[in-house]
Amino acid sequence: MKKISLLLYVSMCFTLWSYSQVPNNDSTSKKTAPPKDRNMFGLHIPRGLKINTPGIADGYIIFAVPNSPYVYLLNRRGEVVHEWKGSYGAFNAYLQNDGSIMLGEFDPDFPTFGFGGPYGRLQKISWDNKILWNFELANDTEIIHHDFNVMPNGHILAIAYEAESYDRAIAMGRKPEKTPKDGPWLEKIIEIAPEGKNGGKIVWEWHLKDHLIQDFDPKKSNYGKPADHPELLDVNMGPKLPPAISQDSVEALQAKGMEGPNATAGNLGADIFHFNAIKYNADLDQIVFSSPNLSEIFIIDHSTTTQQAATHKGGRWGKGGDFLYRWGNPKNYQRGDSTNEKLFGQHDVRWIQKGYPGEGDLTVYNNDIPYMGDSMNYSMIFEIKPPTDSKGNYYLEANKTFGPEKPVWTYMAPDTISFHGSFISGAERLKSGNTFINEGPKARFFEVTPDGKIVWEYLNPYRGNITENNGDPTPLIPMTYFAFRANFIGADHPGLANKKLEPLVPQPSPFILPAPPTTNK
């Protein structure tokens, strides 16, 4: 079987990075210090069903089993009632109305991209495990990565990396000291119309490179003041490059399993913006997406043509492909500083559905909030209400930042420290008003009431046996049980109608992580 270790590489690197950041927020400095041995990955702890409160809404949880091609459907009693099987390592799955799933999968035989969550392949898999559709986008210059969203018409909106050369990046006004020698990976969003069983046509696309501004090089055509153009992205935002190392050093890290197979001395740090979530709102014909490297979420207009999406005019909202709204980190458009930052490496932004409490608001998993003093970072769930005028346009006062000033609802652990996943993860509002949360690194799925009471909790005990291409096992630690995305499925979902939903017999075998070796003194 093929490998999915690229995710392991990037996640370990990202986790180490997240714990090295200097906190810049003192709002929690008076909280009690956490235990020094906090384990974000949930290693060597009991797993399975923890809490199942009588009276909660009937429903199921869908999640990809790490290091495997399987996707499980779990009932509220913690029993697997159905499984789908893809062709490669499963990453994220979304249930469709006919009982099939659309699945993002790791197809590891791609060039160029070696970290940052690329997977390259989508498959539609029927309830009885037939491959209904197969699509690959993975080549030298572009690859599907992280997340996608199936639209009501059956098309798929997907995030893709777009490799740019060093010279093209400099021509866009990117500072040389922030540009990898082999060039950065920018971002685009594509709309795929499935064709046949093994193909698709890209019918709409949006490119980040068409909506950049910079105040570094006045000779470039996109020169301007980012504070005057919050509808554009300052191309010089994002993290600094990692320290330069030789190719021999890269290969030594690869031999130790600490770098991906496509990593080179010239492309380290190429993943500069790292989009990680995308959702579509059919009523507004808008797309929301997330960039954890910028600690900011963005909304764009989908009603444009591809040609209009490359400009600053046109579409239902009149702004072409420019940002209609952004929130989380106004220092990115020079209208704030670190004290104004609201988001920290966030994931899984989505609109609350019609008829659900908070309808039309956005929920975000705020992954890695800095904690001053002798404590540790922590996570929160935010619900925010973007301000709009009477016509539905997002409202921004002159020389001010996009609102709101604060969320309308939040969840955090009462002790702060027991809820933390510095990467992956997600959250969604349920029809009952409760919120379902996926604490990704630990694969802890739980449901909380509006006042923060946990009424259901489960830790994934499963892991597959995909190996490296040479047959070696993939690393067990730290990401033993992780879940990039887990979703709640209501019992009334059309995809479950007339389906057998009895517990599988036998149940899948839990994976038992070997005990750590003891040290003889």
Can you tell me the distance from the alpha carbon of 482 to that of 443, in angstroms, rounded to the nearest whole number? 5
Q: Check if CATH label 1.20.1070.10 holds for domain 5-496.
A: no
Structure tokens at 139: 């080549």
Name, in order, each residue with C-beta under 8 angstroms of 203's C-beta and a sequence gap of 6 or more.
155, 191, 192, 193
Is there a contact between 259 and 250 (Cβ–Cβ < 8 Å)? yes
Neighbours of 162 (CB within 10 A): 17
pLDDT of residue 24: 35
Between the two ends of the chain, the Cα-to-Cα distance in Å is 41
Q: How far is CA 284 from CA 158, 202, 310, 487, in A?
A: 18, 21, 20, 23
Is there a contact between 441 and 15 (Cβ–Cβ < 8 Å)? yes
Is there a contact between 364 and 290 (Cβ–Cβ < 8 Å)? yes
pLDDT of residue 22: 30
Cα 340–Cα 346–Cα 347 angle in degrees, nearest 5:
155
- What is the residue extent of each domain of the chain? 5-496
Is there a contact between 497 and 95 (Cβ–Cβ < 8 Å)? no
pLDDT of residue 260: 78
Can you tell me the distance from the alpha carbon of 508 to that of 505, in angstroms, rounded to the nearest whole number? 8
DSSP conformational letter for 63: E
**Residue 242, amino acid:** P
Burial per residue of 266-277, b for 16 or more beta-carbon CB atoms within 10 angstroms, e otherwise: ebbbbbbbbbbb
Look up the pTM and report it. Answer: 0.92
pLDDT of residue 14: 38
pLDDT of residue 374: 62
pLDDT of residue 4: 37
**Residue 290, amino acid:** S
pLDDT of residue 373: 63
pLDDT of residue 516: 81
Residues of the chain with pLDDT under 70: 1-37, 115-116, 257, 372-374, 519-521
Q: Is the Cα torsion angle 182, 184, 185, 188 positive or negative in sign?
A: negative
pLDDT of residue 109: 85
Cα–Cα nearest to 289, from 340, 280, 17: 280
**Residue 417, amino acid:** I
Neighbours of 321 (CB within 10 A): 27
Is there a contact between 296 and 328 (Cβ–Cβ < 8 Å)? yes
Helix (H) or strand (E) holding 308: helix 306-309
Cα–Cα nearest to 217, from 186, 183, 167, 171: 171
